[in-house]
Chains A and B, each alone.
Chain A
């Protein structure tokens, strides 16, 4: 069963400046594409500190903000909102491929 669905667990996210890719701040102050490496704030105060850190490390990203996540028994983090789930997992449908339809 997932622990904490109230949104008390927070990670800092942003979009990478060069290409807009979704990234998360890790414990070392680096931005990573992997949610499982994100630094987790476990209460509101820790969240405020995490956001301040994220803003201080924002040279290579755009507009850091906090994302509410849940943590499963296995430690797997998952965003609570659909918007953030889509940011992590990508499109929820299959996009058309560049060469999917051949013109003969």
Chain B
């Protein structure tokens, strides 16, 4: 584990700063890829030889073009990095990008011959696209409120960064049976969906007052959704890498390689059982515990220093002008209610910029919008931006008195829709419009629902309701854990949409949705969602969210109403 003082040229007090090792690795990789592209274009390399090389660098071939998936480690961006992403999107793509459910950015119109230049531009701001594809440990995700959340025990990004350094080009884990996704949360209110990852890590404080990890293994969505099992209730923090290494070794040894669809660790855990899995991992861990992977306190501290909270000046917690605007302007009041969250400091708030304006493709942002958010972050949020797995952008440190200015500025970008957590804050994968794996379209379905429920007052009356849409069983749109999940399927060349209810990722309530009934036609999805909402509104008790009502009354009333109209 490396720990050096940050390069002052790039220095920001609350970001991990690349050292020479990181920078050399990334720039060397760009040049290697440049040569590989040259050899492919000249015919020296066949597609069969080249494909694993391009995928290792995050370059996929989709329906119409190459797609570059850029890693945004633990969803944290500086304004400088976001401006660079905007610039790359404008220069090498069509001027927009798609923020994903894994806190990455996808550019959908990249040219192979220009991909090395795009990667070189990324490297200028200490970014890359490595390990965003392939059977490796992927970009580690985290709570998008990390470092700012009022309920946070410890900043999870410190541990994400430690895992990033350990897992990047880890030779033993470069050919895993299948891809491997890790998420970390430092709060009891899980915003990182840790129970549906290959490994979920939850920081918590035990009765002795020590902070450690609950290690959850074998969760995941895709064609076989599973909720992860807790292998370790409490793991000392300095043993994290040893325990991860032990878990990955067991998976590498016993994970299936004979069947692509049964190769994820969730299948291994399911087949052998959590007890046996725990036994194997603990045995492996016993062999390496306290060894080279034990994290020295000074290393943890050195990395933690790089995520030290920004020195936020005292700002008033109650501001007359904000209170007045709240009374005067209903849109502002709604925005405060849905898009603004408590901060660990009373004079600050966390602001979510909704990338879901009515009728827009969820998670998409133009270069101009990205630059606009970067400007707002510089002016009002310490130059920091987060990407949420719900495909929004987050300004983590906004002073209460700056909220009106931020609301107006985001409004000029189209990102002040007061819909976070509401029915139009839809998660959707790119679907059949872009994706080579998809069976059906996702974005147009999301747009139809968004347009239908666009009225903000109605959305707020309906309350918290998470719709998640996937264009195929691979579940990039997390449909299994949507309060309303929508899965696109292809039946004899016709797009149909399977609806499930009751999914949830809230900690302690994590649940997979249950299929409601036969799939509905594309042009009936909005009517079906409308019927679901009407059923809820008729049946809800005071304070009940959609999913709470569903849990109380069951599927039948929803089913009866939906199939009466579709």
Query: A residues bordering B, Cβ < 8 Å?
Result: 15, 17-22, 59, 62-63, 80-83, 86-87, 90-93, 95-104
Contact = CB atoms under 8 A, between A and B. Distances in A.
A92 B444 contact: yes
20 contacts: A17-B40, A17-B41, A17-B112, A20-B66, A59-B43, A63-B47, A81-B493, A86-B432, A87-B63, A92-B433, A92-B441, A96-B360, A96-B369, A98-B95, A98-B96, A99-B368, A101-B369, A101-B412, A103-B409, A103-B412
Contacts of A86: 63, 432-433
Contacts of A100: 366, 368
A44 B96 CA distance: 42
A96 B86 CA distance: 13
Interface centre among A22, A93, A100 (most CB of B within 10 A): A93
B406 to A, nearest CB: 13
B326 interface: no
Nearest to A103: B372
B413 interface: yes
B64 A21 contact: yes
B119 interface: no
B368 A102 contact: yes
B275 interface: no
Contacts, number: 105
Contact of B367 (A81, A93, A98): A98
Contacts of A99: 95, 366-368
A87 B433 CA distance: 8
B244 interface: no
Contacts of B371: 103
Given A19-B111, A96-B360, A101-B414, A87 B366 contact: no
Given A96-B364, A98-B89, A99-B367, 16 more contacts: A15-B61, A22-B63, A59-B43, A63-B61, A80-B493, A86-B432, A87-B64, A92-B441, A92-B444, A95-B361, A96-B366, A96-B369, A101-B366, A101-B372, A102-B412, A103-B369
B113 interface: yes
B370 to A, nearest CB: 10
Interface string B416-442: 000000000000000011100010110
B105 to A, nearest CB: 14
B443 interface: yes
B112 A20 contact: yes
B432 A20 contact: no
Contact of B365 (A91, A93, A96): A96
Main secondary structure of the interface of A (DSSP, over half): loop
Main secondary structure of the interface of B (DSSP, over half): mixed
Nearest to B495: A82
A25 to B, nearest CB: 16
Interface of B: 40-41, 43, 47, 61-66, 89-90, 94-96, 110-113, 360-361, 364-369, 371-372, 375, 409, 412-414, 432-434, 438, 440-441, 443-444, 447, 490, 493, 495
Contacts of B414: 101
B429 to A, nearest CB: 14
Contacts of A96: 96, 360-361, 364-366, 369
A59 B447 CA distance: 39
A90 B64 contact: yes
A61 B399 CA distance: 53
A60 B120 CA distance: 25
A93 B40 CA distance: 33
Contact of B96 (A15, A59, A97): A97
Contacts of A90: 64
A100 B372 CA distance: 12
B433 A20 contact: no
A103 B375 contact: yes
Contact of A21 (B41, B65, B365): B65
A59 B42 CA distance: 9
Contacts of B95: 97-99
B164 to A, nearest CB: 29
A49 B144 CA distance: 54
A97 B364 CA distance: 10
Contacts of A81: 493
B368 A93 contact: no
Contact of A95 (B94, B110, B375, B438): B94
Nearest to B111: A19
Contacts of B447: 93
A57 to B, nearest CB: 13
Contacts of A18: 41, 111-113
A98 B62 contact: no
Contacts of B366: 96-101
B61 A98 contact: no
Nearest to B414: A101
